[in-house]
Amino acid sequence: MEYEMYQEILDQPISLERTISTEKEHMLQLSEQFSKFDKIFLIGCGSSISTCYTIRDAMKSISNINIDVQTGFDFVDHQYLEDNSNYGVILTSQSGETSDTLAALRKAKKHNIKTLSITNVEDSSMAKEADDTIITKCKEEIAILGTKTYVTQLISLYYIFFNMIDSKRAKDIIKQLDEIPSIMEELIKTTEESSKKIAEENKDVDLFYCMGSGLNFGLSYKLAMTMFMEGALKHACPVYSGEFRHGLIERVEEGVTVVFIKSGDDWDEVTQRAINFCKDLGVNTVIFDLQNYYDIDPLLTPFILIIPLEWFIYHLAIYNDEDPGSTRHIGKVRY
């Protein structure tokens, strides 16, 4: 039996191609506009906020662009704003109806601050109310954990922010972004079996710690919060690699499972120390390393590792007799 998530994994390359072809020039215009702001807020929740974490951490490694990532609730309840501030607010939401993200948009507009929504639904409230909108061309997405909307939101943010930077590396990354759909197509075909094997080996694990540093934390966050907990219905916790020595170091032992995200860049030094420590103790270490999958700039790691991670979660759920795209409470119980 194939679940909704299966087809949505396969749909990612074409969703990227459609989004790039219809929105790329628009993204370049938005990049020019947002480059003039003193500060840019990125607002989202769940899978969407993980894309915000990723682009923030990618940017701080090669630029001094002032980016602040917040959930909608934090922005609405705690962020002080003055009218007409030279700020920009980018809001990410698959549905365009996420209540806290929509409330954040309305707060920004109340203070006459430029808003941009990135959403998959053209007639959604966020698309209608924001000053500008990027529509991701994914068609309907049913599986709760976010596959094609994740990658299209992420590539939209990459085009906007990397076009703000006048460096050879940034320009090279922009060129590589155009290749992501075809690379992803290849990875979908070549990584399923190896990820399925990892899923089988870990099907009885109840709790996964997910660890990454630099821009890999955003993917670790998504892996824990939406992929393990929403998709596979497994307990999971995201951890910055730099925080391993505070807390988790006291809990790792034989029988504990830690999933590491690596990209082969300088961020991995602290991650590798944690891996070595865990292996010495006999901890069950699961490592997804960019260098084992594709030769590309490490700042593009999430676009590569998301595919084997999706196959891993898909088959982990099935091994535990779960539908990897269904929900128990989200969208069914008022919160």
The span from the CA of 223 to the CA of 238, in Å, is: 8
User: First and final CA of the chain: distance in angstroms?
Assistant: 32
Who contacts 183 (Cβ-Cβ below 8 Å, separation ≥6)?
294, 296, 303, 304
Whether pTM > 0.75 for this model: the answer is yes
Any idea which residue has 């070595």 for tokens? 276
Q: How far apart are CA 178 and CA 181, in angstroms?
A: 7
Q: What is the rounded distance in angstroms from the CA atom of residue 317 to the CA atom of residue 226?
A: 13
CATH number at 201 reads 3.40.50.10490
- Number of domains within the chain: 2
The confidence score (pLDDT) of residue 332 equals 45
Residue 81 shares a structural domain with residue 135: yes
Judge whether 303 and 155 are in contact, CB under 8 Å. Answer: yes
Same domain, 28 and 131: yes
Residue 43 has a pLDDT of 98
Output the pLDDT for position 80: 97
The answer to whether residue 335 is domain-embedded is no
331 vs 335: CA distance, rounded Å: 9
Is the same domain home to 36 and 153?
yes
Q: Is residue 89 part of a domain?
A: yes
- Assigned domain for 325 exists: no
What residues of the chain score a pLDDT lower than 70?
1, 144-145, 325-335
The predicted structure's pLDDT at residue 324: 81
DSSP 114: E
Q: Which two tokens stand for residue 140?
A: 């309907």
What is the model's pLDDT at position 333?
43
The answer on 76 and 10 residing in a single domain is yes
Residues 230 and 330 sit within 8 Å (Cβ to Cβ): yes
> Residue 332 falls within a domain, yes or no?
no
Q: Count the neighbouring beta carbons within 10 Å of the beta carbon of residue 127.
A: 20
Shared-domain flag, residues 155 and 197: no
Range of the domain at 290: 191-319
Rounded distance, CA 96 to CA 43, Å?
Answer: 12
Domain boundary among 138, 157, 184: 184
Q: 103-122 pLDDT, tens per residue?
A: 999 999 999 999 999 999 99
Domain co-membership, 258 together with 308: yes
Three-state secondary structure call for residue 29: helix
